[in-house]
């Protein structure tokens, strides 16, 4: 049972490595969850430098600190909405709502593409041949919702 042995005998530096691994996972799985457990693992690693905690306490503290940090962060975020000079900066598609573009790929089965600047955006809307001018009516993630421009 080498795995259970590892889990019951983590050293301070292994907790810090664990923290780094969780921090890296946050970049792959965004959502501000892993980062709090990474921070909790780092705290345990640093505490272990000074106070050798029994392994049961290490895991309990890690879980509790991670959840508390995540909940505290979410509460903080809920009470302070993001105010910004450029409200559509992180939702690039929103800046195109109301604008007209030409389809570079026909809309078939609800999906097509338009050229915007030097990029191509996926669009959803009614079946239309390529070359048709469409107007952006909304955004769903990275897909622009369009209809035929009048």
Give me the pLDDT at residue 90, please.
Answer: 53
pTM of the model: 0.44
How far apart are alpha carbons 66 and 43 in whole angstroms? Answer: 10
Give me the pLDDT at residue 112, please.
Answer: 93
Give me the pLDDT at residue 102, please.
Answer: 92
Give me the pLDDT at residue 48, please.
Answer: 83
> Where do the DSSP E strands lie in 55-132?
100-108, 111-116, 119-124
- 114 contacts 123 by C-beta, under 8 angstroms: yes
Give me the pLDDT at residue 56, please.
Answer: 84
For 66-105, how does the pLDDT look when each residue is reduced to its tens digit (9 = 90+)? 888 888 888 887 777 655 554 544 566 778 888 899 999 9
């Amino acid at each position: 049972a080498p795995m259970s042995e590892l889990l019951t005998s983590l050293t301070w530096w292994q907790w810090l490595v664990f923290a780094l691994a969780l921090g890296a996972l946050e970049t792959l799985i965004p959502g501000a969850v892993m980062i709090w457990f990474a921070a909790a693992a780092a705290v345990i690693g640093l505490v272990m430098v000074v106070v050798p905690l029994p392994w049961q306490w290490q895991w309990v503290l890690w879980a509790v600190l991670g959840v508390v940090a995540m909940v505290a962060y979410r509460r903080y975020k809920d009470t302070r909405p993001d105010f910004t000079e450029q409200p559509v900066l992180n939702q690039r598609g929103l800046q195109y709502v109301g604008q007209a573009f030409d389809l570079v790929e026909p809309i078939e089965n609800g999906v097509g593409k338009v050229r915007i600047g030097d990029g191509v955006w996926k669009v959803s809307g009614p079946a239309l041949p390529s070359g048709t001018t469409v107007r952006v009516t909304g955004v769903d993630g990275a897909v622009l919702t369009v209809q035929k421009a009048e």
